[in-house]
Amino acid sequence: MSGEEQDRYDVAVLGHKFPVSAKDVELTQRAADHVNGKAEYYRGKYNELTGGQLAALVALDVAEDLFREREQFTGVRRDEEDAWSEAQAKMKSLLKKLDSADSAQG
């Protein structure tokens, strides 16, 4: 471990308590609440699911959330990088034109 102390506590999902330890208790609790909300939704929608099926469905849904967020973040990041590259190319082109104009006058 990195030497940073982790808090130990329980989180509840569908009424079951799970012991966890984490550096960021608030973040872990929010994650547990998110998972619990999805589990409650799917349990209400598909009450015939076994516990394992429900867990797999919730895991898939949370993974989709993660991938969607990652794609949105990297897409925005990529757009910013493309804009920066385009701006740099335009600045270089403008500087060349200015240098050419100075050379022609000089």
Q: Which residues contact 16 (CB under 8 A, 6 or more apart)?
A: none
In the chain (106 residues long), the average pLDDT of successive 10-residue segments reads 71 90 91 94 94 93 91 76 78 76 71
3-state secondary structure 36-62: HHHHHHHHHHCCCCCHHHHHHHHHHHH
Q: Phi, psi at residue 26, to the nearest 5°?
A: -60, -45
Sketch the domain layout of the chain as residue ranges: 7-105
Confidence (pTM) = 0.62
